[in-house]
Structure 1
Amino acid sequence: MRKPILAGNWKMNLTYHQAEAMVEELLSLGKAPESVESILLPNFLCIPLLADKLKGTGYQVGAQNMSSEDQGAFTGEISWDMLKDLGVSYCIIGHSERRTLYLENNSQIEKKLRKAVKTGIKPILCVGESLEKRQAGEAKKRIEGQVHRALVGLDREDLQDLVIAYEPLWAIGSGQAASPEDAEDMCLTIRQWIEKGYGSDLAEKIRILYGGSVKPDNIASFMEKENIDGALVGGASLKAKDFYALIEGVQNA
């Protein structure tokens, strides 16, 4: 039985004081249930705050990005050990906004993923297709290619803590989610690819999330699907009541 995940990606939102208020309200609603792995991924400046406030509450703290380098003259970058030193356990790798806005390519994403798994940071690898690829009937081919390129040279032992998030680019921030059936089909495609490349044991273990306009009123329909193990949410993670409602939606599915 795969333990479900709810991961809240704050993106470039919430100042330090806004984050403090959000976390205090979240904790007033209750601790994270043991049955759901609940992760908040704030901006870098708020990581120490959340790591301190959420200690012992069941919530985990993640990062939205990391460097593929250990240290050195890389202005503006954050290394894996800086994150681990602050208590970060998860990191998003290859989010669609990093791919499209900052032109991160498959080679860079591969290096970041390799660095994460080799240093004990649990990666949330994001893959997804554009509307053009979907309309051209190339969605599955696109997803399989992204997974393949990211995992080049890694073996089964490296991938024990890998999480993959399927995020259709056309659904992110649009208010229009993929149908639960479409999301299930794409998550199944990912699981089948893992099975072919790494065996059924790993394929059954890896958790696959859906991301793309997930809200408290639609999360149950996604969690009912066999190959969807949780959600990577954006805007709905910025308000404490919404995020806690999402956790309850995952827990009760």
Structure 2
Amino acid sequence: MARPKFVAGNWKMYTDLAGAKSLAAAVAKEVGSSSKVQVAVCPPAPWLTAVADAVKGSAVVVGAQNCHFEKEGAFTGELAPQMVLGAGCKYVLIGHSERRHGLGETDDLLNKKARAALAAGLHVIFCIGELLAERESNHTESVLDRQISFGLADVPPEQMANLVIAYEPVWAIGTGKVATPEQAQAAHAFVRGKIVEMFGEKVASELLIQYGGSVKPDNAVTILHQPDVDGALVGGASLKADSFLAIVKAAG
């Protein structure tokens, strides 16, 4: 049985309230109430409930860009997994490179976040990827191995059905550079093989692995139809409905 395609838009720290509602409504209108491609949008935290309202009744679901690993407590500025659920989200991004490298989030911390989010009933998009220097020194696979081994340690196998991996080569995020279809496929195949080691063949065969890194309508088709590429985590191109929807269409 073929795996479904899944395209998610990461809006990062962009949009105002009116723009977020308008963008979400435009995506929801085009996607409609059923879609063979799974679609999610991940707006900034203040707009989560408004965006959830805007996509209600459509097949589009909402994701948060981050959460904490505790259920509650004195953690100023943080969002508990239960709060993310309560805001109308199905997904949460964990481990995006901008948090790993810009905010110093470690493999251990990301493991705690992923396990807490899954335990709370959220679906997790777990992001991994290598820096340019790591690729140029032929360390891509060792980096991915470490990020998966530590990041998904102690995740119950039965919860892996609620986890998606997004492979995002850091050198291709927001740079205009894109991994070739062959580079993307090789990395995705390595990731799937690692999941076989950790969780078994069935989990690995059903796992969705997205590609992220300057995905645009003009490069989406060739990347998204590689054997182990199951969709895209889209950054800048998700901020305009037309370009995001073109990527969704390319995945179909």
Structure 2: stretches of 5+ with no match in the other structure = none
SS at match of 1:5: strand
Equivalent residue runs for 1:1-253 within 5 Å: 1-31=2-32, 33-251=34-252
SS at match of 1:134: helix
- Is the 2:28–2:59 contact (alpha carbons within 8 Å) kept by the matching residues of 1? no
SS at match of 2:218: coil
SS at match of 2:101: helix
Could you tell me how far apart the structure 1 residues matched to 2:26 and 2:152 are? 39
Could you tell me how far apart the structure 1 residues matched to 2:209 and 2:30 are? 27
Could you tell me how far apart the structure 1 residues matched to 2:199 and 2:29 are? 43
56-65 or 152-161, which moves further after superposition? 152-161
Could you tell me how far apart the structure 2 residues matched to 1:160 and 1:21 are? 32
Could you tell me how far apart the structure 1 residues matched to 2:237 and 2:249 are? 13
14-23 or 118-127, which moves further after superposition? 14-23
Q: What is the TM-score normalised by the length of structure 2?
A: 0.97
Could you tell me how far apart the structure 2 residues matched to 1:188 and 1:59 are? 28
141-150 or 27-36, which moves further after superposition? 27-36
Q: What is the TM-score normalised by the length of structure 1?
A: 0.96
- Is the 2:41–2:60 contact (alpha carbons within 8 Å) kept by the matching residues of 1? yes
The change in CA–CA distance for 1:210 and 1:64 in structure 2 (over 3 A counts) is same
Could you tell me how far apart the structure 1 residues matched to 2:226 and 2:141 are? 18
Could you tell me how far apart the structure 2 residues matched to 1:208 and 1:223 are? 10
SS at match of 2:205: helix
SS at match of 2:217: coil
- Is the 1:192–1:203 contact (alpha carbons within 8 Å) kept by the matching residues of 2? yes
Could you tell me how far apart the structure 2 residues matched to 1:245 and 1:197 are? 35
Q: Percent identity?
A: 38
Between the two proteins, the alignment pairs up a number of residues equal to: 251
SS at match of 1:160: helix
- Is the 1:32–1:38 contact (alpha carbons within 8 Å) kept by the matching residues of 2? no
Shift of 1:40: 0.2
Shift of 1:222: 0.9
SS at match of 1:196: helix
The change in CA–CA distance for 1:124 and 1:89 in structure 2 (over 3 A counts) is same
Could you tell me how far apart the structure 1 residues matched to 2:13 and 2:179 are? 24
Shift of 1:30: 4.6
Could you tell me how far apart the structure 2 residues matched to 1:28 and 1:51 are? 13
Could you tell me how far apart the structure 2 residues matched to 1:216 and 1:96 are? 22
SS at match of 2:79: coil
Q: Which amino acid aligns with 2:86?
A: D
